[in-house]
A and B are shown apart, each in its own frame.
Chain A
Amino acid sequence: MSAPVVALRNVTRRFGSVVANDDVTLEIAPGEIHALVGENGAGKTTAMRVLYGILPPHAGHIEIDGHTVRIARPQDAIRLGLGMVHQHFMLVEPMTVAENLTLGHEPAAAFGAYRAGAAQRAVEELSRRYGLAVDPRARIRTLSVGAQQRVEILKALHHGARVLILDEPTAVLAPQEVDELFRVLRGLAAHGTSIVLITHKLAEVRAIADRVTVMRAGRVVGGGALTSLTHDAIAELMVGRAMAPLVVERTPGVEGVRLEVNDLEVFDARGLAAVRGVSFTVRGGEILGLAGVEGNGQHELIECLAGLVHARGGTVRIDGRDAPRGTRARFAAGLAHVPADRHRRGMIEPMTLAENLILGLERDPALGRGPGLDPAALARHARALLEAYDVRPPDPRARAGALSGGNQQKLVMARELSRNAGVMLVAHPTRGVDLGATAFIHRRLIAARNSGRAVLLVSSELSEILALSDRVMVIFDGRIVFESTARATDERELGHYMTGGAGATA
């Protein structure tokens, strides 16, 4: 390997008594795509925040081109040729692409007038050179997530980045957008730009990385050229044990229909038809997987089934009865809902774990007397669930916002499974969740199925859909365009229909 363009040497960073980075050494070669992998909380993001000057290290130093440098703030990092694409984009939404890129050093004419033309030409030049298609005059808020990400990358390149750090860039992307991103990254690497990719998806590592570094519990535990490492070897380094293969012990035999959806029509927030006449049933003891590229109506479908949005047409029946209006009534009628966005819907971060575990249950007579809530009953309820679902720390008084992503999701799962509902709506149950928690959540979903519940599973991970589901449907443009047993189909076929391929009625 050639001399590293950037290196972290023996970096240690603590948060109070927790050592987030322990003697971390990491070298990035010019023009390589380097995957930094590890479970949530392994210290990947901390290492990159140290590198980018957001967090000062407590020990160790950073080298650029072999010289020790001091990076005290992100401006220093940018000046030294580092660029960071955060998980949550740092863009000014009402402004155009060109305005965002030149923010802070706008090309100016006499009297400080903004030279829009010059800015646009600069963006066009840059996007041509690196093959990143973006309209410089488009306003950020009109762009898709994938396009916004390209703007972030362009912004870093515009600032002269030689090393591009991307923090879980694919978490927000649809499958074909991931392909597009990877094409762009390969092009950049070919131009000599080094790429650091923070991820915990091993399939992506395999698809794009040249080298990989694995972190666990704040330490670098291994790595090397991808050609020298098998999938299982990396997974084992990440979790510190051999990964048990997902044991999908399915009790056979499917029970009666528990969720019945007929000709359902739902409008989105802008008043446009998002779900256009969807019909399906889910039986007890069955997981029905709903695959689709984000934005094809699956979000509106779930929100409507959960009672959050009223249907414009069609019927929903739960256990043979017409589903009542409103969320609370639907919970009572036997519905549980693991929402797609746990931060916006699924939990209340400043509240305690005990309080989060009673969201939607706060009127349960068992939790207090009359209008009062009994703190002891809340704590008992919480302790039992936190233990059963292995939420760490199992402290009912800890705040939900302090948990890692995996533990937050286990918290939501614990609450929803504790409703003992016959029908479960489960959306993206393992998004942003580490491998250990993912396996746990998968086992719980299978167990729920085996106990006779009907599960509607929405996920953007086709491997997850195929591994868990008994039957699979594809939603495209608000309609169900494909249906099959999970065994009789594969990722390629699903991907074909998800993207509106032939055979689909668009």
Chain B
Amino acid sequence: MSARPRLATALEIAAPIVAVGLALAAGGAFILAAGEDPFAIYALIFRQCFGTGYGLGQTLFKATPLIFTGLAVAIGFRGGLFNIGVEGQLYLGGLAAALAAVALAHTPAPVPLLGALVAAALAGAGWGAIPGVLKARFGAHEVINTIMMNFVAFSLVAFVGRRVFEIATVRTLQIPAAAELPRFDVWLPALRGSPANVALILAVLLALAVGYLMFRTRFGYAIRAVGFNPGAAEYGGIAIGRTQTITLAISGAVAGLGGVNFVLGYKHFFELGFSAGAGFLGIAVALIGRNHPLGVIVAALFFGALSYGGLVINQRVPKELVEMLTALVILFAIAVQQVMERAARSLR
């Protein structure tokens, strides 16, 4: 590559970092207005999130589902599809994992765990494939349908919950020990007390797998071709509708697997409302991570830290400030990305 395209690439990679910097600066102004020293607050967040074993574990735990959901959104974006249904796919994935684990309670060791993982992925894939088929078959826009599928998922869980939840609770039965994902503090005493668990390793492996799929396989090529230029993909013989449906199914499967962090790795049961917006935050993670698997991991760690950091600083400034910071990052990310991408284009 000659110097200019390289500079253009550097600009594109720098965009999210600049966005985060600007968001922190703007957030600092609000902290100042709240009567606190922004540097002290940011330092406190950083220390608490990365400086102690417990805090680091909490950050990793919060980041884990965001890796799954960020990857899920990124897969959609790569294929030219905006999957806003990640929240519902994550939610159903968690429920499916719990139900499968409970149903397989009397089978030998790896079966409950594997069964739970497969069930989570299948539930998410199925939920993602429905809007995919609707788009391929009838041209119904996936943005509308994935949003709607979220509501259907929430209601469906509330409805079946009457039969599968423990009496007078909003949670399923406890999963068998054989289906649990161990916590890291079993091996790493430094993380003691934090719920970070093996789901994180699963997430990182999945990120690598998604990277391989996207950039090193024939099907990943088809996904990206359809995402960039459907007319050219069609010309090249790629079946657009089929590719889009499978893309949404894969996206949903990854989102569904995200449910295991909470269900198999932390609480060991499914609880109503456990997803708590991790699916929607996945959109921001994919955006800041530039739809790249490694970028998604970094962005998920950042948002994970923010979400734990909000709890840490609650004593000194309202934790809504940190939620605002999340929003500011997204806002700046969109604006800065536009500007930098235009600059990058003019360089190419």
Contacts and interface: CB of A to CB of B under 8 A. Distances in A.
Contacts of A18: 4
A421 to B, nearest CB: 13
Given A345-B232, A351-B224, A358-B221, A372 B216 contact: yes
A371 interface: yes
Interface in A342-401: 344-351, 355, 358-360, 362-363, 368, 371-373, 375, 393, 395, 397-399, 401
A363 B221 CA distance: 10
A306 B236 CA distance: 10
B347 A345 contact: no
B7 to A, nearest CB: 7
Contact of A350 (B219, B228, B238): B228
B3 A17 contact: yes
A368 B4 contact: no
A374 to B, nearest CB: 8
A112 interface: no
A371 B235 contact: no
Interface residues of B, number: 29
A86 B228 CA distance: 25
B215 to A, nearest CB: 8
A325 to B, nearest CB: 11
B216 A359 contact: no
Contact of A328 (B4, B217, B221, B237): B237
A393 B4 CA distance: 13
Which has the most chain A C-beta neighbours within 10 Å: B5, B222, B236, B348?
A: B236
Interface in A290-311: 306-308
Contacts of A15: 4, 346-347
Contacts of A363: 218
A225 B12 CA distance: 47
Contacts of B228: 348-351
Contact of A344 (B7, B216, B231, B347): B231
Contacts of B7: 16
Interface residues of A, number: 41
B241 to A, nearest CB: 13
A401 B348 contact: yes
A399 B348 contact: yes
A399 B2 CA distance: 12
Interface string B272-311: 0000000000000000000000000000000000000000
A307 B219 CA distance: 21
A402 interface: yes
A346 B225 CA distance: 12
Contact of B236 (A16, A327, A372, A397): A327
B5 A347 contact: no
Nearest to B229: A348
A351 B229 CA distance: 10
Contacts of A345: 231-232, 234-235
A358 B224 CA distance: 13
B217 A372 contact: yes
A314 interface: no
Interface in B1-16: 1-5, 7
Contact of B221 (A308, A326, A362): A362
B218 A372 contact: yes
B232 A347 contact: yes
B236 A360 contact: yes
A52 interface: no
Contacts of B219: 371
B83 to A, nearest CB: 20
Contact of B5 (A326, A372, A375, A402): A402
A337 interface: yes
Nearest to B2: A393
Contact of A359 (B3, B4, B232, B346): B232
Name the residue among B3, B7, B221 with the largest chain A CB count within 10 angstroms.
B221
Point out which of A308, A349, A358, A373 has the most chain B C-beta atoms below 10 A from its C-beta.
A373
Contacts of A358: 221
Interface in B127-168: none
B221 A327 contact: no
A368 B4 CA distance: 31
A339 interface: yes
B1 A359 contact: no
B232 A348 contact: yes
A90 B216 CA distance: 40
B236 A373 contact: no
B110 to A, nearest CB: 26
Among A328, A341, A346, A348, find the residue whose CB has the most chain B CB atoms closer than 10 A.
A348
Nearest to A350: B228
A355 B221 CA distance: 8
Nearest to B220: A373
B5 A398 contact: yes
A126 B138 CA distance: 47
Contacts of A17: 3-4
A348 B218 contact: no
A170 B217 CA distance: 42
A368 B215 CA distance: 12
Contacts of B238: 328
Contact of B222 (A327, A331, A362): A362
A54 to B, nearest CB: 11
A432 B190 CA distance: 65
A345 B237 CA distance: 11
A159 B219 CA distance: 52
A138 B216 CA distance: 51
Nearest to A347: B232
Contacts of A326: 237
Interface string A13-41: 00111100000000000000000000000
A349 B233 CA distance: 12
5 cross-chain pairs, A with B, having the tightest CB-CB distances, nearest first = A328-B237, A360-B236, A327-B237, A359-B236, A16-B4
Given A346-B235, A362-B218, A362-B222, 10 more contacts: A15-B347, A328-B238, A348-B233, A351-B225, A359-B236, A360-B235, A360-B237, A363-B218, A368-B218, A373-B216
